């Protein structure tokens, strides 16, 4: 009897791409919640060309493919998993998104690639895509999105898991599926096969 092929979605920035700037995410969330009194689950959308230009520069902090990408490509090549990129990057970041897709998957081993071309709220966009694709696992580095997806989608399937790549400032948060790197995530995915 053949085992089911796992469907696994991956965020781009901070998961498939190494992004040293992600270390400040917990600090920004803390400031947003405690000082600015804003909903940490509502993400800002840059409205004008200047803000979009700045946002584009900020996304340049994703500087190279994350260690472990080669092992993920090998796993995709084996056809034991279907690999999807699901990025919440807004529509104006399309060109940079496409650049990275070509760079990290030059042989088109991944099943498909999606970015937030309708500029939806990132966590709602990812929730929608996980449901549409019927994913078994989604890999994310943003704790707020991990918590949201775990809460919202656990009812869809008891087998659905959100793997979290944490950063050093988040390491004390207790969570069953937390990993320090993409490389460790790929090792955990292999155990699911």
Q: What is the residue-level pLDDT of the chain in tens, covering all 193 positions?
A: 456 799 999 999 999 998 776 666 665 666 556 655 565 567 777 788 887 777 777 777 788 999 999 999 999 999 999 999 999 999 999 999 999 999 999 999 999 999 999 999 998 999 999 999 999 999 999 898 998 888 766 545 568 899 999 988 888 999 999 999 999 999 999 999 8
What local confidence, expressed as pLDDT, does residue 32 receive? Answer: 57
Q: Rounded to whole angstroms, how far apart are CA atoms 174 and 22?
A: 19
Q: Rounded to whole angstroms, how far apart are CA atoms 129 and 73?
A: 22
Give CA torsion, residues 86, 103, 57, 88, to 10 deg. Answer: 0
Q: Rounded to whole angstroms, how far apart are CA atoms 119 and 31?
A: 24
Beta bridge pairs of residue 81: 6
How far, rounded to the nearest angstrom, does the alpha carbon of residue 142 sit from its chain's CA centroid? 8
How buried is residue 82: exposed, middle or buried, by Cβ count under 10 Å (0-12/13-18/19+)? Answer: middle
Beta bridge pairs of residue 7: 82
How far, rounded to the nearest angstrom, does the alpha carbon of residue 131 sit from its chain's CA centroid? 15
Domains in the chain and their CATH numbers?
6-192 (3.40.50.1000)
- The predicted model scores a pTM of 0.87
């Amino acid at each position: 009897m053949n085992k089911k092929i796992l469907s696994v979605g991956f965020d781009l920035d901070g998961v498939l791409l190494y992004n040293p700037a992600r270390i400040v995410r917990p600090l920004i969330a803390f400031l947003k919640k405690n000082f600015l009194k804003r909903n940490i689950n509502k993400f800002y959308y840059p409205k004008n060309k200047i803000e979009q230009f700045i946002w584009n520069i900020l996304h340049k902090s994703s500087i190279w493919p994350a260690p472990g990408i080669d092992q993920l490509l090998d796993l995709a090549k084996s056809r034991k998993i279907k690999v999807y990129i699901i990025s919440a990057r807004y529509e104006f970041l399309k060109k940079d998104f496409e650049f990275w897709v070509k760079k990290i998957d030059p042989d088109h081993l991944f099943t498909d690639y999606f970015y937030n071309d309708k500029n939806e709220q990132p966590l709602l966009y990812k929730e929608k895509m996980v449901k549409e694709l019927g994913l078994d696992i989604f890999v994310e580095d943003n704790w707020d999105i991990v918590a949201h997806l775990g809460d919202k989608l656990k009812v869809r399937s008891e087998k659905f898991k959100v793997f979290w790549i944490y950063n050093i400032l988040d390491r004390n948060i207790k969570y069953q599926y937390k990993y320090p790197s993409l490389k460790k995530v790929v090792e955990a995915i292999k155990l699911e096969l």
